[in-house]
C-alpha cells in the first residue's frame, strides 16, 4: 500500500521508515530537498518525494492517502492547500497535535468535495521509530478500515506488551496499538486526554521525588529555621540522605508505580543525577489545557490533572502577581515584612 | 479585675491597653524595662510592671491570672517557669499561636499542681487594639467564666458587626467576639482552622486578581508566543487593561466577596498599585500546615486549603526539584529542550 | 433620568425600585402584566410599563436607555429584538450573567446600527435592594459616563464601607460601588472573576467548618476504624465537640476572616444549626467555569479556584466513574475488596 | 541461607516460596497450624514451622533472621515479644506497612539488646510471587549486606525490565529490584512516598478516563440542562461514544502513559467494562496520608498527591458537611434553592 507524507521531520520520517520497512511504499513532500534526498538514499525503491505539492499529489496512486505531519499551527493551511489538488475518494490524515475542534471543522469543509478526513493522535515521541506509535484514530469507519495495513505497520504490534488476562483469540486492533475511537476528532480527543493523564502522572512522580529529595531536611536544618517557614517539630524524622536516581531505578522492577515514564526518569537521573542541566521552567503544549477545558465543559472533576497543569504555569513564574498579593495582605493585617529571597 | 501579662510586645501591650481602658488593672512582666516604663507612663495607675518574674507574681492578686503573650517557641518554657511560682487556683493563659497539642500537654502538666490552664486563640493583628480581638478559648468552663470580664474587654463587642438575623435578646459571648470552644486546646484548634480558612480565602483573591492582571494578554501577545506555552486561540478575548486596585475597591461595596481581607487588599493596592515593594516569597506560620494535618487525620477533604498552602511553598522555590524532574522527563520522551527563562 | 427595564423579576424590579426611590423614573417591559401593575401600584408616578416591546420602546425618551435583566439564556434574542426598534444613539445594557464573549459579539452586531452596548456585571443577590448593587461595567466611556446618574443610584454608595486609608477628597466611582472596567465585555469579565473568587472563598469556609465539624472524631471512634480508612494515631487530639454555628458567629467580629459570606453563613447556621435542610448537591452557574477557562487561556495558575469548582462537580456525583476506576485498580493490584457504604 | 518468617498470610507465604525456590530454607511461625502444614507439604525439606514463637526461635540458626509479615497494627507488639527471645547479633525485619516513625522507635528499643532492626517496604501486591517484590530497605549497612542473598531472591531481578540506557557492567542492587535506602525507617519512608505517587498516578488515569466516559455528553444532553449546571456552549464537541476499555488497551503499547497500573486497569475494564461491581467508595491506607504529612513538614508542595488523597476522602462522603455549607451560603445570598438529586 502507498502512503503520501507531507512533512519529513523526525516524526514524519520515522513513520515513513516504519511502513517502508514493513513492505509498503511512501511518497514524501517536504520543502527541504535534502531531507527527501537523504530519506531516498536510506530507503531506496520504497520511497520517492518532491518539494512541490502538486507534483507530490501527481505521484500518488488513487485513492490518495495523504498524511500531514507538520507543526499544529501550520496544519490547517496545508490541508486546505492540498485539498484543492485532491479528488473525491481521497483521504487526508492529520497525524499531528491539532485540537479536535479543528478536526470537526476540517471534516465538514472537506465533505462537500468528497474528500475524507481522518485524525490520528500519535503517541510515542522519539522512541516511536523502534517502539512503534500508539495511534488514536477519528474518522469514518470505511476509511479507517481502508487504512488498516498502514496503521498496523506504524503501531507497535501485539508483542509490545504482555496480553491482558482474559483477552484471547484474534487480537483487537487496540491490542496491536491502534484504535478507531469514533468520528472526526475522536482520535485527537483521546490523544488530548492521554496527554492530560501524562501531565498528572508526571507530576505524581515529580512531587514524590521532591519529598525524597528533601528527606534530609531535619539533619540540614538542625534548629535553624527562617522566620518565613514553620519550624520542624520532629527533625529526627527527616534525616535520610536518599539516592533519588537509585530509588527510581529500584521502582522499575516489581513495584506498583513501574511505568514507561519511570523508565525515562530513571534514565534521565542516571545521566544527570542532580538534574543540573535543567532550570525547571516547564513548558506545556495545548493538550493539557484542552483536557481541563473538556472536563469543565462536561462537569468532570479533575483536581489532579488541573493541579499538574497549574504547577507548570507556576514553574514559569506565572503565580508571581498572586504571590505578591498574598505578601501584601500579610503585611496589611499582620505587619509581616516579607523576607528576602535566598 | 486584674490581669497579669507576660510579654509586652505589640500584642501584649495592646491587650493591656484595652483592658485598662475598660477599667481593669494590669501587671506586666517584660525583660525590656523600657517597655514597662513607657506603658506605665501611658496608662498611669491602671498598670504596673516588673522585669523580674518572681516579683511580677508577687504583685498579682489571687487567684492570679497570668496571660503569656510571647513567641510560640518560647511559651512552654515560660509557662513551666511561672508555674513554679504559682499556687493552686491560679490561672495561666496562653494567648499566642501554640499548636493545640501543646495546650493538651500543658494542661496535664499543670493539673497536679492545681493550676488551671486556658488557651486563647487571638485574631486581629495590628488592628486589634482599636477593633478588638476575636478570642477563641479552650479550658475548663469555670475558669473561662471567671475570666469573663477581661475577655469581654479584649473582644470587639456586639457593635462591631450587624446582628445576625434571628439572634435577639441577650447576646451570646460569640456575638461579643469571644467564645469558649471546649476543653484545653479547643481555642487554639479553632484558631488554627481559622487561619487555615484565611489561607484559602487569601489565595482565592490572589488567584482571581492574577487573572485580572493578565486580562490584556491577547493585546500584549499579538501572535507571538514562546514555544513553551500554548498559543492563545482567541486573543480578542483578552484585551482588557483592568485597573486592579479600583476593582478591589469597587468589590468592597455591595458585592458577595466583600470582606475584611478585601478591605486590606484594596488599601495595599491603593498604597502600592503595582505591588512593587513585594517580591512574592510568601511565608507560612504553622497554623496552615496544622490545619491540613488535622484534616488528614480526620479524613476531611481540603483541596482548597491545601492548594493555598502549597502555593506558598512554591512561591519560595520549593517546587524547583519537582519542576526539574518534569523537564527531564519531557526531554527524555519528546526530545523537548527546556527553554531559557525570560 | 429615565431607565427602561426589560424583565421585572426580582433583580429587575429591585433596580427599578432603587432608581425611582432616588428620584429617577422607570419604564418596564414584562410579559406578566401583574408584575407591571404591582410595581406601578407600589411606585406611583415614577413607574409605568407595558407588556409589549414596541409600546415599551415608544414610551422611552431618547436617547433610550434599555436595561435587559432576564435569564442569561434568553438575553441575546431579546437584545436583537429590541435593537430592531431602537435608533442610533440609544443604549442597550445587559445587566445579567452573560459570558463576556457574547458582549463582544453583541457590541459588534449593534455598532453598525449606531446603537451602543454596555454590559453590567451586577453583584448583590437578594440583599441588593437595600444594600445596593456592586456594578462592574464594560462599554464605551462616553455612554458609561452618560449613565452615571442611574449607576450611582443603583450602587451602594460611599457609606456602605469605611473609606480605604489613603483615599481622600472626591471619591472615585469605585468607592461608590460602580466601576467602568473597560470596553464591551469588561464588566462581565470582572464579574466572572468575582464569582470565581466567590467559589474559592466559599470553599475555604466550607472546608474549614468541615474540620471543626469532625473535631470530635477521636472521641467518636475510640479505637474502631473501618478497614477503609487509616486508623487515627492520636485520638486524644480529636475530642472537641465544637459548636460550629457559634464559631461562625464569633469570627464575625475582630477576626481576619470576617466577611459578608461569613455573615451569611452564621445566619444560615443559626437558622438551621445542623444544615438539615440541605442535601449537599451544590450547583454551579457558568461563571466559576469560565473563570478557570480564562485562567487556562492566559496561563494563570488557579489551583484554589479550580479545586472549589471541582468540589461542586463531585458533590453532584460526577467523580463516581473515576472512583470506580480507583476501586478497580486497588482490587487488581492489592486484592482489596471495596467496602460497603455505611 | 535461612529465613525465619512470622506470619504466613499471602505475602509472608509468597516470600517464603520465592526464597525456597531459590535454594534457601525457611522457618515459619503462624497461629493457624493449617497454613504451616500446607506450606510444608508444598515446599518439602526447604520449609519447617511452628505455631509457638519460642519453638520457632529455637529452630533458627544464629544469627537469627526474623522477618515479621503481619498487619501493621499488630507488628510492634510481636516485635517486642520476639525480641525477648532473641540474642545479640540477631536481626528483626519488618516487611509490612508500618509508619517509618515506628521503625525509628523500634531500632532504638532494640539497640541496647544488641538486636539489629531492618525495615523493608515491600511492593508488588498479589503479583509479587511470580513478578518478584520491589524492596526498599532501611537499617545498618552491615546487616543489610548480610541479608543480601535473601533480598536478591525475593526481588524481581535484572531481567524484569530492560536495562536503563547508560547502566552497564555489574548491576547495582537497585537494578535487581532491592535498595538499601538509609538507616532505620528509610525503607518505609521510600515505600510511603512510593504509595503517595501511586495515589497520584491512579487518580490521573481515573480522572482522564472519566472525561472519556463523559465524552458523549453533548449528544446525551441535547439542549436539556438542569438548573444546577451550566449549559454546554458547544454540544457538538461532545458527541463521542468512546469505548473506554479499548482505549486503556491501546495505550498499553507505544504510548507515553504505558504502565503497570494501566495494564491492571485494562484488565479490570476488560473483565467488567462498566465497572458494575464497584460502588466507588475508595479506601485509603495510611501511606498516602503520611506522604502528605511528610511533604508539609518539609515544605514540599504536593498539590497532585494531596488532591488524589482528598478525592478518596470525598468518595466516601466526607465532603458532605462542606457541601451543605456551600448550599446554605448559596441559598443565603442568591436565594438559590438546592436541587434534588437525580
For residue D3, list its beta bridge partners: D26
Q: How confident is the model at residue A79 (pLDDT cuts 50, 70, 90)?
A: very high
Of D198, D228, D276, D331, the catalytic one is D198
Q: For cell 515446599, name the residue.
A: D43
What is the average pLDDT across C252-278? Answer: 97
Q: Is the dihedral of CA A122, A123, A129, A135 positive or negative?
A: negative
Nearest to A143 by CA among A57, A67, A49: A67
pLDDT less than 50: residues of chain B: 341-342
pLDDT in tens, C210-256: 999 999 999 987 665 555 667 788 999 999 999 999 999 999 999 99
Quickly list H helices, chain B: 10-21, 33-43, 53-58, 72-83, 100-110, 128-131, 141-146, 148-154, 173-176, 186-213, 217-220, 244-251, 260-271, 286-298, 303-315, 320-334
Q: How far is D181 from chain B (nearest CA, A)?
A: 19
Instruction: Decide: helix, strand or coil at residue C49.
Output: strand
Residue A342 pLDDT greater than 50, yes or no: no
Task: Please indicate if any CB of chain A lies within 8 Å of the CB of D156.
Answer: yes
What is the average pLDDT across C284-301? Answer: 96
Answer yes or no: do D309 and B296 touch at CB < 8 A: yes
Answer yes or no: do D206 and C322 touch at CB < 8 A: yes
Residue of B nearest to C215 (CA): B298
Q: Show residues of chain B in contact with C183, CB under 8 Å.
A: 239-240
A113 and A83 in contact (C-beta within 8 Å)? yes
Residue of C nearest to D260 (CA): C333
Answer yes or no: do A283 and B322 touch at CB < 8 A: no
Q: How far is B127 from chain C (nearest CA, A)?
A: 8
Binding-face residues of B in 78-117 toward A, CB within 8 A: 99
Q: Show residues of chain B in contact with A235, CB under 8 Å.
A: none
Answer yes or no: do D206 and C326 touch at CB < 8 A: yes
Q: Show residues of chain A in contact with D217, CB under 8 Å.
A: 297-299
Instruction: Decide: helix, strand or coil at residue A220.
Output: helix
Q: How far is D215 from chain B (nearest CA, A)?
A: 22
Specify whether D331 is catalytic: no
Full DSSP string of A157-205: -GGGSPPPTT--SSPPHHHHTEEEEESTTHHHHHHHHHHHHHHHHHHHH
pLDDT on residue B140? 98
Q: Which helix (H) or strand (E) holds C41?
A: helix C33-43
Answer yes or no: do C303 and A307 touch at CB < 8 A: yes
10 Å CB burial of residue C101 (0-12, 13-18, 19+) is middle
pLDDT on residue B227? 57
Q: How confident is the model at residue A341 (pLDDT cuts 50, 70, 90)?
A: very low
What is the average pLDDT across A286-300? Answer: 97
Cell numbers representing residue A12 in the block: 514524519
Q: Show residues of chain C in contact with D279, CB under 8 Å.
A: 324, 327, 338, 340-341
Q: For cell 479585675, name the residue.
A: B1
Task: Kindly give, in sequence order, each residue whose CB lies less than 8 Å from that of residue D206, ignoring residues fewer than 6 positions away.
Answer: C321, C322, C323, C325, C326, C329
C91 and C143 in contact (C-beta within 8 Å)? yes
* Closest by Cβ to B305, choosing from C207, C262, C299: C207
User: Residues of A with catalytic annotation?
Assistant: 191, 198
Q: How many CB atoms lie within 10 A of CB B329?
A: 25
Residue of C nearest to A334 (CA): C256
Task: Please indicate if any CB of chain A lies within 8 Å of the CB of D130.
Answer: no
Answer yes or no: do B338 and A281 touch at CB < 8 A: yes
Q: Quote the CA–CA distance of B315 and B323 in Å, as a whole number.
A: 13
Instruction: Label the pairing between strands D47-50 and D65-68.
Output: unpaired
Answer yes or no: do B281 and A323 touch at CB < 8 A: yes
Give me the half-sphere count of Cα atoms (radius 13 Å) on the Cβ side of residue D72. 20
Task: Please indicate if any CB of chain A lies within 8 Å of the CB of D243.
Answer: yes
Residue of C nearest to B295 (CA): C211
What is the average pLDDT across C299-312? Answer: 98
Answer yes or no: do D193 and A185 touch at CB < 8 A: no
Binding-face residues of B in 173-232 toward A, CB within 8 A: 202-203, 205-207, 209-210, 213-214, 227-231
Cβ pairs A/C, distance under 8 A: 56
Peptide bond into D262 cis (omega under 30): no
Q: For the complex shown, is ipTM > 0.90?
A: yes
Q: How confident is the model at residue A201 (pLDDT cuts 50, 70, 90)?
A: very high
Residue C341 pLDDT greater than 50, yes or no: no
C196 and B208 in contact (C-beta within 8 Å)? yes
Task: Please indicate if any CB of chain C lies within 8 Å of the CB of A307.
Answer: yes
Answer yes or no: do D321 and C209 touch at CB < 8 A: yes
Nearest to A307 by CA among D283, D238, B319, B342: B319
pLDDT on residue B336? 77
Residue A285 pLDDT greater than 90, yes or no: no
* Closest by Cβ to C257, choosing from B179, B197, B215: B197
For residue D135, list its beta bridge partners: D122, D178
Task: Please indicate if any CB of chain C lies within 8 Å of the CB of D281.
Answer: yes
Residue of B nearest to A210 (CA): B322
Phi and psi, residue C178, nearest 5°: -145, 150
Residue of B nearest to A301 (CA): B303
Q: Show residues of chain C in contact with A300, CB under 8 Å.
A: 313, 318, 322
Task: Please indicate if any CB of chain A lies within 8 Å of the CB of C314.
Answer: yes
pLDDT on residue D229? 63
pLDDT in tens, A3-53: 999 999 999 999 999 999 999 999 999 999 999 999 999 999 999 999 999
Answer yes or no: do D127 and C333 touch at CB < 8 A: yes
Give first-to-last CA distance, chain D, whole Å: 62
pLDDT tens for chain D, 342 residues long, are 999 999 999 999 999 999 999 999 999 999 999 999 999 999 999 999 999 999 999 999 999 999 999 988 889 999 999 999 999 999 999 999 999 999 999 999 999 999 999 999 999 888 899 999 999 999 999 999 999 999 999 999 999 999 999 999 999 999 999 999 999 999 999 999 999 999 999 999 999 999 999 999 999 876 655 556 677 889 999 999 999 999 999 999 999 999 999 999 999 999 999 999 999 999 998 999 999 999 999 999 999 999 999 999 999 999 999 999 999 999 998 887 775 543
pLDDT in tens, B221-233: 766 555 566 778 8
Answer yes or no: do A282 and B330 touch at CB < 8 A: yes
Q: How far is A4 from chain B (nearest CA, A)?
A: 24
Binding-face residues of C in 245-264 toward A, CB within 8 A: 256
Q: Show residues of chain B in contact with A227, CB under 8 Å.
A: 283
Task: Kindly give, in sequence order, each residue whose CB lies less than 8 Å from that of residue D308, ignoring residues fewer than 6 positions away.
Answer: A204, A304, D199, D200, D202, D203, D288
pLDDT on residue C213? 98
Q: Taking the mean position of all CA atoms in its chain, how far away is CA A174?
A: 18
Residue of C nearest to A294 (CA): C293
Cell numbers representing residue C214 in the block: 469532625
**High-pLDDT (> 70) share of chain C, %:** 96
**High-pLDDT (> 70) share of chain A, %:** 96
Q: Quote the CA–CA distance of D113 and D36 in Å, as a whole number.
A: 30
D246-to-A136, C251, D209 alpha-carbon distances in Å: 11, 53, 11
Specify whether B191 is catalytic: yes
Of D191, D246, D324, D331, the catalytic one is D191
Among A217-226, A264-273, D12-21, D299-308, whose mean pLDDT is lowest? A217-226
pLDDT on residue A224? 59
Amino acid at each position: 500500500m502507498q502512503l503520501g507524507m507531507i512533512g519529513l521531520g523526525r516524526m514524519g520520517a520515522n513513520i515513513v521508515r516504519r511502513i517502508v520497512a514493513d513492505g509498503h511504499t511512501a511518497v514524501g513532500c517536504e520543502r527541504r530537498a535534502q531531507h527527501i534526498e537523504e530519506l531516498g538514499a536510506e530507503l531506496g525503491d520504497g520511497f520517492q518525494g518532491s518539494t512541490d505539492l502538486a507534483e507530490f499529489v501527481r505521484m500518488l496512486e488513487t485513492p490518495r492517502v495523504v498524511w500531514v505531519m507538520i507543526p499544529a499551527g501550520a496544519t490547517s493551511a496545508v490541508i486546505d492547500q492540498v485539498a484543492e489538488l485532491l479528488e473525491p475518494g481521497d483521504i487526508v490524515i492529520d497525524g499531528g497535535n491539532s485540537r479536535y475542534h479543528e478536526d470537526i471543522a476540517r471534516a465538514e469543509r472537506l465533505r462537500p468535495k468528497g474528500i475524507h478526513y481522518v485524525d490520528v493522535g500519535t503517541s510515542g515521541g522519539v522512541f516511536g521509530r523502534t517502539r512503534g506509535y500508539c495511534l488514536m484514530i477519528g474518522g469514518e469507519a470505511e476509511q479507517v478500515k481502508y487504512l488498516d495495513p498502514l496503521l498496523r505497520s506504524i503501531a507497535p504490534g501485539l508483542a509490545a506488551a504482555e496480553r491482558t488476562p482474559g483477552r484471547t483469540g484474534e487480537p483487537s486492533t487496540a491490542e496491536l496499538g491502534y484504535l478507531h475511537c469514533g468520528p472526526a476528532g475522536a482520535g485527537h480527543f483521546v490523544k488530548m486526554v492521554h496527554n492530560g493523564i501524562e501531565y498528572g502522572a508526571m507530576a505524581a512522580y515529580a512531587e514524590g521525588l521532591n519529598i525524597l529529595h528533601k528527606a534530609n531536611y531535619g539533619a540540614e536544618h538542625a534548629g535553624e529555621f527562617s522566620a518565613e517557614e514553620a519550624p520542624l517539630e520532629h527533625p529526627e524524622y527527616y534525616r535520610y540522605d536518599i539516592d533519588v536516581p537509585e530509588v527510581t531505578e529500584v521502582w522499575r522492577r516489581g513495584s506498583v508505580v513501574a511505568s514507561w515514564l519511570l523508565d525515562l526518569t530513571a534514565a534521565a537521573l542516571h545521566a544527570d543525577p542532580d538534574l543540573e542541566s535543567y532550570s525547571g521552567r516547564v513548558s506545556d503544549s495545548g493538550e493539557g489545557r484542552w483536557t481541563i477545558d473538556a472536563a469543565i465543559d462536561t462537569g468532570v472533576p479533575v483536581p489532579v490533572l488541573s493541579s499538574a497543569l497549574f504547577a507548570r504555569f507556576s514553574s514559569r513564574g506565572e503565580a508571581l502577581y498572586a504571590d505578591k498579593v498574598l505578601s501584601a495582605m500579610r503585611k496589611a493585617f499582620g505587619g509581616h515584612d516579607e523576607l528576602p529571597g535566598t
